[in-house]
Every structure is written in C-alpha cells, then in structure tokens.
Amino acid sequence: MHELSICQSMLEIVDRTMAEHPGAKLLRIFLDVGKGSTIEPVLLSEAFDVITTDGPYEETKLVVNEIPLAGRCRSCGSTFEYQEVALGCPKCESVDIEITSGLELAIRELEIDENGAGDPPGGDAE
Amino acid sequence: MAKVDVGKKILSENDRVAAKNRETFDDAGVLVLNFISSPGSGKTTLLETTLDRLPQDLRVLVIEGDVSTTRDLDRVKAHGATGVQINTGGGCHLSAKMVAEVLPELDVEHADIIFIENVGNLICPSTYDLGEDGKVVLLATTEGDDKPMKYPTIFYESRLAILNKIDLLPYLDYDVEKVQREVEVLNADCELLQVSARSGEGIDDWISWITTRLEEKRS
Ligand SMILES: [Zn+2]
C-alpha cells in the first residue's frame, strides 16, 4: 500500500506547479498510470481523497489514464499486450521480449480555473 | 479553464535523491545491492549465510529496512556486518531519502559492499530507486510458483532473481522451470539462481555472482 506516499509525492509536484498560478483553483489532475507501475488506481483515488480533505484540493478530481502493459518480441518483431500468464511471444514463443509501455507513473497536466479561487468547479469541469 | 502541462514523473524527486546516493556509492567504488522479497522468504538467513561465505577481507555494510524492529539488524551484526536500521514506522518501502539520511552514519568510503534489506513485500519497494547498482528479488519454494507473473514489476527491475529453500523441493509441488521461463519472459537480462541458505546448496554461485559484480564495479 504505497499509494499514500505516491500521493504525497504527487502533491509536492502539484504544489510547486500551482505556486506558479497564484489565485487559481485546481480542477483536475491528469495522470498516466501504467498497468505495470505497481499502482492500483482505485487505491490511489482513495488515498487522494483522504489526503486532500479540508485543503485547497478538496474538490479537485483525479483523472487516471491507465496505460496497458505492452511488449515487443525482439525475435519476430510482433507487438502485444501482456497477458497474465504470458509464457513468451504469442507468435513465435521467444522469451526475448522488451516492455514498450505500461511502466508510466506521471502527472501529464493540470486543469485549472485561473480566476476561480474559492469557487467550486463549474459544470463543464466534469 | 486552462490546461497546464506538467509532464513529470511522480517519483522524480525520489529519483533525484537516488542519483545523488548513486554518485556517493560510485565515488567510493562500493557495490550496492537492494534485496526485495515477501516476508518469510529467508532474506535475513540468506544475508547471514552470505556474510559468512564472502571473502573475509571484504568490508560489508548492511542497511536494514523494517517497519518497526531491529531484530534483523541484530542477526546480521552477529555475522560480522556493520549496519544501520531504518524503521519506516508503517511505511511499506524504503525511499532514496531514507537511505540518504543514514549514509552519514556509515563508513561508505571504506566499504566494499552494501546490502540493503528492503521492507518485506514484492510490490511497493520495486518502484523506488535507492541509488543501488541492482535490485535482487528473492523467492522461496514455499511460496506459490506464480510469483513472477503476479508481481511483474519487480522482475523487470531486478538484476538477479534468487530462488531460496531449494532443499525443500522434493516435498513441494513447485514448478521451477515455469518460474524460470516467466522470469525470462519478463526480463531476459535477469538471471535466476537456485540456492538453499540453510543447506548451502548453490551459495557458491551466488557468492561468485556478487564478487563478479564487484569486479565489474571497480573496473
Ligand atoms: Zn516473436
């Protein structure tokens, strides 16, 4: 359960970014989370809710873009999504495989309301 | 409404501190291995056996990560290692910062090898770079033989996988070949060594793996 410490690290970056936009209200945080990043999006959202209660981000929404775990076979060049019981390349059974995506854990962008300090997010924020 | 581009890895601050740790280790020419496993896989026992079997002239330091006790540190100290304890106070992994904070207490400058025993689980520690030369993931034959595909991240991140407690294989329904293949699929560069920290089987291979890495580090 390291989602709480991931949230803390995330909020440090968010705080620094928001400091460059005084008076703005943070509406949404867009994250890229790879399926192989060891992060459980549901636990991350719960941790975020707990950690932002009663603070400036109380109404901020976390939007997680889950990125599938994908690989490429170095022998035959075919690309595929990782299956739970993958025992090699589905085409040629080679084990010489490289992960091409799915390890991401990053803040992509923030959606802010530049003159919205104190106001709840508008209808179009959803 | 405005969009602000951030494009930043969430663990970028940890990675920055890890890079500083790595610089300290590289300057001292010390090999640093970060051990990760589930509880009960025999990490501390393997460490004890390793300390006994490594060439006596090597100076070994141990950083013990644990939620709350110093029991593991007491055990490795009895085998001649100097070390420090990091109690995470509930935290499920070590971070680069926790390691950076204890470095002044250790004589890194004059050490040859540092073993970091991470907090016992296969998920949380795998994401955190501590500045080590390599992660070593430890499995035991008493756990299920589906571990690699269940916890893939630690296998992509590890430089070596060790299957411990092979002395119990005759009594268990454990498919070593399947585990071997899963590790290969996840990370073709991650070797799998089979050992028994209790009987000593396979320990020679493990010791020579460490000493080879140490030579590489110094060359
Ligand atoms: Zn193939």
Say what the pLDDT of residue A67 is.
Answer: 94
Look at A5 and B95 and tell me if their CB atoms are within 8 Å. yes
- Predicted structure pTM score: 0.90
B8: β partners = A107
Beta bridge partner(s), residue B86: B65
Partners of residue A31 on adjacent β-strands: A64, A107
State chain B's maximal CA–CA distance in angstroms: 66
Q: Would an 8 Å CB–CB cutoff place B189 in contact with chain A?
A: no
Give every strand in the sheet of B113-117, ordered side by side.
Answer: B82-87, B60-66, B113-117, B31-37, B134-140, B158-164, B191-194
User: Among all chains, which residue has been given the structure tokens 């411990």?
Assistant: B164
Q: What is the pLDDT of residues A78-110, one digit of tens each?
A: 998 876 546 788 888 888 888 899 999 999 999
pLDDT value, residue A125: 45
Q: Are B98 and B88 in contact (CB under 8 A)?
A: yes
pLDDT confidence tier of residue A126, bands split at 50, 70 and 90: very low
Q: Does A32 touch chain B (CB under 8 A)?
A: no
B104 touches chain A (CB under 8 A): no
Beta bridge partner(s), residue B139 = B163
- pLDDT digit string (tens) for chain B, length 219 residues: 899 999 999 999 999 999 999 999 999 999 999 999 998 899 999 999 999 999 999 999 999 998 877 788 888 888 888 899 998 887 889 999 999 999 999 999 999 999 999 998 999 899 999 999 999 999 999 999 989 988 888 998 999 999 999 999 999 999 999 999 899 988 889 999 999 999 999 999 999 999 999 999 998
Return the closest-CA partner of residue B133 out of B99, B111, B159.
B159
Cβ <8 Å between B2 and A113: yes
Tell me if B34 sits within 8 A of B116, measured CB to CB.
yes
Nearest to B124 among A27, A38, A107 (CB): A38
Put the strands of the sheet holding B2-9 in their side by side order.
A61-67, A25-34, A105-113, B2-9
pLDDT for residue B4: 95
**Whose CA is closest to A9, among B95, B66, B116?**
B95
CB-based contact A5 B181, cutoff 8 Å: no
CA gap B148, B45 in Å, rounded: 22
Q: How far apart are CA B204 and CA B53, in angstroms?
A: 8
Q: Do A87 and B10 touch (CB under 8 A)?
A: no
B14/A86 touch (CB, cutoff 8 Å), yes or no: no
Structure tokens at B63: 């950083």
- Tell whether A113 is within 8 A of chain B (Cβ): yes
The b-or-e profile of A13-45 (16+ CB within 10 A means b, else e) is: bbeebbeeeeebbbbbbbbbbbbbbbbebeebb
CB–CB contacts below 8 A, A to B: 101
Residue in chain B closest to A13 (alpha carbons) equals B10
Instruction: Express each pLDDT in B21-66 by its tens digit.
Output: 999 999 999 999 999 999 889 999 999 999 999 999 999 999 999 8
Residues B79, B192: Cα–Cα separation, whole Å: 26
